[in-house]
């Protein structure tokens, strides 16, 4: 195992500040680096990405993902899902209920009347077993017990983070189960391409393109209505790049239901499961860019509509709409919509997913 974390870093985080013991399992900080001088910092508590250090057009590095600078603040964050792994089920399930093999399952209710992101003790709040393979690869493993948070089946999960020389942060997910169950994993990165600061700048001037002709409308509790709606003529049309803020407060029922953008986009795919382009954002002041590629059929776009300026890393504060999330995943509430792409995993199958966040600059 490579202990590259012991060497100096540019994110200014201390490994000892992330070390504690929770239920007999040790937390730590892991640093991924590449040969062009960029780095990603991850803790095995919830798989939280606490730093992505990337240069602007002048070559100046900043942390472009929201996070905390010590383990207690990660655990007690006002935003429990801040840049963490999400499971067993990303997004919402209506009233926390679903049927499988003729049996009804009841999950924890933790978001209005609904279940959200795997429940209060979902994968974001677990200590994962970590193995750093080399300077640019971290492997996390977790066993989710039968009945945990109300889900059926024992689930064994592996997540691999890799930082490439092309400034791609690749996240690969694999899982198996011993009983038929449902699964929908994602990474809930809160991206702030301008760099986190006090206060972190708004994302409303980001130029955003999303490769989706359709999106899923939601009801007042953020559950999909079941309709798959064309983006044309709506605030959800990002097929040509436009500023995030252009329509974020539009007089539109769906914008009101989400308090901004908090919707799943149906990604354009040539074939199921292909790794393809999902989105691109450009931060005009710094020149930083990010592209998203994924094998998943959907992507929840969340514009941080509920943040209140809480404190983050190194004195940074996170006001409302200071981050954007691109959560590659299957659709919300799929178990209650039979014609959505299936989220069922059987004992003889392997769940696999890959999402890439590619960082760059425009001059």
**pLDDT on residue 7:** 53
Task: Spell out the residues 6+ positions from residue 28 whose beta carbon is closer than 8 angstroms to its own.
Answer: 5, 15, 18, 19, 43, 44, 130
Enumerate domains of the chain plus CATH numbers.
Answer: 4-361 (2.70.98.10)
- Let me know if 104 is a catalytic residue: no
CA–CA separation, 73 and 312 (whole Å):
8
Task: List per-block mean pLDDT (blocks of 10 residues) for the chain, which spans 363 residues.
Answer: 58 98 97 97 98 98 98 98 98 98 96 98 98 98 97 98 98 98 98 98 98 98 98 98 98 98 98 98 98 98 98 98 98 97 97 98 94
* Cα radius of gyration rounded to whole Å, the chain: 19
What is the reported pTM?
Answer: 0.97
Catalytic residue among 79, 148, 296, 327: 327
CA–CA separation, 69 and 125 (whole Å):
17
- Evaluate the omega torsion of the peptide bond into residue 293 and state whether it is cis, within 30 degrees of 0: no
Neighbours of 325 (CB within 10 A): 23
What DSSP string describes 180-195?
-EE-B-EE---B-TT-
- pLDDT digit string (tens) for 308-340? 999 999 999 999 999 999 999 999 999 999 999
**pLDDT on residue 8:** 80
Distance of CA 94 to the CA centre of its chain: 20
Q: Which two tokens stand for residue 158?
A: 């592996």
Neighbours of 313 (CB within 10 A): 22
Catalytic residue among 136, 188, 263, 330: 188
- Let me know if 68 is a catalytic residue: no
């Amino acid at each position: 195992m490579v202990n590259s974390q012991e060497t100096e870093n540019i994110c200014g985080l201390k490994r000892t500040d992330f070390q504690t013991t929770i239920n007999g399992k040790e937390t730590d900080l892991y640093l991924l680096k590449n040969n062009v001088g960029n780095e990603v910092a991850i803790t095995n508590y919830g798989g939280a990405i606490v730093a992505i250090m990337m240069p602007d057009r002048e070559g100046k590095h900043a942390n472009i993902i929201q996070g905390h600078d010590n383990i207690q603040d990660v655990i007690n964050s006002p935003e429990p899902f801040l840049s963490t792994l999400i499971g067993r089920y990303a997004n919402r399930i209506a009233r926390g209920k679903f049927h499988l093999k003729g049996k009804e399952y009841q999950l924890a209710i933790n978001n209005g009347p609904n279940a959200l992101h795997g429940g209060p003790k979902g994968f974001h709040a677990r200590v994962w077993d970590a193995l750093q393979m080399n300077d640019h690869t971290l492997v996390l493993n977790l066993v989710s017990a039968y009945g945990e948070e109300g889900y059926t089946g024992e689930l064994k999960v592996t997540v691999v983070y890799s930082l490439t020389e092309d400034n791609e942060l690749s996240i690969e997910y694999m899982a198996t189960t011993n009983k038929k169950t449902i699964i929908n994993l994602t990474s809930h990165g809160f991206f702030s391409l301008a760099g986190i600061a006090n206060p972190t700048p708004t994302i409303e001037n980001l130029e955003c393109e999303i490769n989706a002709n359709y999106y899923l409308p939601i009801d007042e509790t953020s559950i999909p209505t079941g309709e798959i709606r064309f983006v044309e003529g709506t605030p959800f049309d990002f097929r040509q790049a436009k500023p995030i803020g252009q329509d974020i407060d539009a007089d539109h029922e769906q914008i009101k239901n989400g308090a901004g953008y908090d919707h799943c986009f149906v990604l354009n795919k040539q074939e199921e499961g292909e790794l393809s382009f999902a989105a691109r954002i450009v931060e005009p002041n710094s020149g930083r860019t990010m592209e998203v590629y994924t094998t998943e059929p959907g992507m929840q776009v969340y514009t941080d509509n509920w943040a209140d300026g809480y404190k983050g890393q190194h004195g940074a504060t996170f006001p409302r709409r200071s981050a954007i999330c691109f959560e590659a995943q299957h659709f919300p509430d799929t178990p209650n919509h039979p014609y959505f792409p299936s989220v069922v995993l059987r004992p003889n199958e392997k769940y696999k997913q890959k999402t890439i966040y590619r960082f760059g600059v425009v001059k």
